[in-house]
Amino acid sequence: MIPRIYIPADSGALALGAEKVARAIEKELKERGVEAKIVRNGSRGAYFLEPMVEVATDKGRVAYGPIKPSDVKSLFDSGFLTGGHHKRWLGAPDKIPFFAKQTRLTFARCGINDPLSLDAYKSLGGLRGLQNAVAMAPADVVKQVTESGLRGRGGAGFPTGIKWKTVLDTAGAQKYIVCNADEGDSATFADRMIMEGDPFVLIEGMAIAGIATGATKGFVYVRSEYPHAVATMNKAVAIARKAGVLGLNVLSSPNAFDMEIRVGAGAYVCGEETSLLNSLEGKRGVVRAKPPLPAIQGLFGKPTVINNVISLASVPIIMDKGAAYYKDFGMGRSRGTIPIQIAGNVKHGGLFETAFGLTLGEIVDDIGGGTASGRPVKAVQVGGPLGAYFPRSLFDTPFDYEEFAKRDGLIGHAGITVFDDTADMLKQARFAMEFCAIESCGKCTPCRIGSTRGVEVLDKVAAGIEAEKNLALVTDLCNTMKFGSLCALGGFTPYPVMSSITHFPEDFKPAPARVAAE
Ligand SMILES: Cc1cc2nc3c(=O)[nH]c(=O)nc-3n(C[C@H](O)[C@H](O)[C@H](O)COP(=O)(O)O)c2cc1C
Ligand code: SF4
């Protein structure tokens, strides 16, 4: 049997040098006259081990990583094609603790095979969910998704089945499925990993959404910073169309569904669903007032499902194994699994899919391994740039929508950024206001004006100018933004600002006192 070597080609692994490693391996194979098949898979998500090269042996896959081009000669010398020992030897991928501790439902296939092999997708259970869906009445598909307890993974955590039911129940000659792949939150890369590592699961999820709601056309709105994801999705859509997964008769059924990929122009606010719709329609990315809900009047005024990549990519497993199977994972009202993206100053950064319920401390200390700098963890921002900063004293918070909300935080798209004790939380609070000022769409006053005033007032605090009075003003301003903004960009910016002030008051002391304290 010709040996198979797996080298990831997703943008995370490429950024860490996977292409150079692939070339070095090709060269070495040639020089040694050895025949082997190189498969470019996606990443499994342990970015601290990327580029992670795997070899298929008689006893299963063996992984090595992180591999540099300079390791390649010694890899061959140590017989890696048959799983030989080497300083970068990691053993069977599923036994590596970072993977062994995960529960992979949505990411079950991600990183294992060539993402564009439909046969490989099917061999690992792909298309079974869609197969079931085409044989069911639309209302029963919606019922399954509702009963699974799946909530939107884009940030708001709205029940997916309820959204689908609104679209199903709304009459319309044309309905749409829009996939939100804008993924603008800091520390997030789950959407990108799926699009680059297992694109058919998203296509399958979108086709199921179409069948469930009567939508025949779908669009994936991808951020422009994701050229690899765009290329992979375009190729995957063409393959799916050719194979009859998409088209006038999805899997030979009477249901029609087709889709296209669209690239955004680069604005954080275009991840907000109504702004995204404007952008998709070719208009300026400004937030629309709700109502009407997009489910009733969405893209081009038609009933539209807008869901995040992970929400849609979680549907195939629900339709394959049933609502009860999915619902069995998780805690409280947070059902199923959540792909947590661990980033920032952290030793073991990567994607960790697990049932809801792990504590923040378990995620940061046990899974993440603490900071990369080796210094104590000071703060963790959960939920992207609009998420709260949690101190160690809140590390017992379980990863659950309601538990985070109780502590004035949010899960968002489940990205977490770790900071060590050198972080200055006043600077972080200022950054949040500045981010909001730059990214504001300008439609409403609390956000458009408030964020700029917020930067100015925090600058006064930093300069020690009437610090107490100005901090009170920031609090007042945050309340106005929280309750008076039209969308969550202005409405949630108070989370990082107020959590910094509440949990790290020492960083907001007037300048001379801060210097004395240091
Ligand atoms: C400023 C802002 C940015 C957002 N960015 C994203 C994004 O990048 N991706 C996403 O899926 N949802 C984003 N959302 C949430 C969407 O508005 C919407 O709730 C989501 O796409 C719905 O899908 P879901 O129910 O599957 O989560 C953003 C919201 C706001 C207010
Ligand atoms: S909160 Fe900001 S981004 Fe949202 S509508 Fe108002 S101005 Fe636009």
pLDDT score at 1: 78
Give the CATH fold of the 330-420 domain. Answer: Ubiquitin-like (UB roll) (3.10.20)
Going by pLDDT thresholds of 50, 70 and 90, the confidence category of residue 512 is low
pLDDT at residue 516 is higher than 90: no
Distance CA 423, CA 409 (A): 19
Question: What mean pLDDT, rounded, does the chain reach?
Answer: 97
**What tokens were used for 280?**
């998709």
Query: Which residues lie closer than 8 Å to 388 by C-beta, 6 or more apart?
Result: 381, 382, 407, 408, 409, 410, 495, 496, 498, 499
pLDDT at residue 317 is higher than 80: yes
Going by pLDDT thresholds of 50, 70 and 90, the confidence category of residue 217 is very high
CA of 155 to the centre of ligand 2 (A): 16
Cβ atoms of 260 and 275 within 8 Å: the answer is: no
Q: What is the DSSP string of 258-315?
A: EEEEEE--S-GGGGSHHHHHHHHTTS---PPPSSSPTTTS-GGGS-EEEEEHHHHHTH
pLDDT at residue 134 is higher than 60: yes
Task: Kindly report, residue by residue over 254-294, the tens digit of the pLDDT.
Answer: 999 999 999 998 899 999 999 999 999 999 999 999 999 99
E runs forming strands in 13-126: 37-39, 53-57, 60-64, 89-91
Going by pLDDT thresholds of 50, 70 and 90, the confidence category of residue 510 is low
* Nearest protein CA to atom 14 of ligand 1, as residue: 272
Domain boundaries, the chain: 4-100, 126-327, 330-420, 425-517
Ligand 1 binding pocket includes 294 (Cβ within 6 Å): no
Phi, psi of 335 (to 5 degrees): -100, 155
Going by pLDDT thresholds of 50, 70 and 90, the confidence category of residue 513 is low
| Number of helical H runs and strand E runs in the chain | 23, 16
- CATH number assigned to the domain with residue range 4-100, chosen from the 4 options 3.40.1710.10, 3.40.50.2300, 3.40.30.10, 3.50.50.60: 3.40.30.10
pLDDT at residue 471 is higher than 60: yes
Please count the other Cβ atoms lying within 10 Å of the Cβ belonging to residue 309: 29
CA of 180 to the centre of ligand 1 (A): 7
Q: Which ligand is nearest to the CA of 288?
A: 2
Distance CA 10, CA 129 (A): 26
Q: Which among 166, 185, 308 is the best mutation to test ligand 1's pocket, defined by most ligand atoms within 8 Å of the CB? A: 308
- CATH number assigned to the domain with residue range 425-517, chosen from the 4 options 1.20.1440.230, 1.10.10.60, 1.10.1200.10, 3.30.1490.20: 1.20.1440.230
* Nearest protein CA to atom 1 of ligand 2, as residue: 490
Phi, psi of 179 (to 5 degrees): -100, 125
Residue 289 DSSP symbol: P
pLDDT at residue 444 is higher than 60: yes
Q: Which helix (H) or strand (E) holds 453?
A: helix 445-462
Q: Which helix (H) or strand (E) holds 239?
A: helix 227-242
Give the CATH fold of the 126-327 domain. Answer: Rossmann fold (3.40.50)
The Cα angle at residue 80 between residues 76 and 84, in degrees rounded to 5: 120
Report the pocket of ligand 2 as residue ranges, CB < 6 Å.
269, 287, 440-444, 447-448, 485-487, 489-490
Percent of the chain with pLDDT over 90: 97
Distance CA 109, CA 45 (A): 12
Write down the pTM of the prediction: 0.97
pLDDT at residue 118 is higher than 70: yes
Strand partners, 359: 398
What's the Rg (C-alpha) of the chain? 24
CA of 109 to the centre of ligand 2 (A): 38
Q: Is the dihedral of CA 325, 331, 334, 337 positive or negative?
A: negative
What 3-state DSSP class applies to 205? Answer: helix
Ligand 2 atom with minimal separation from the 485 CA: 1
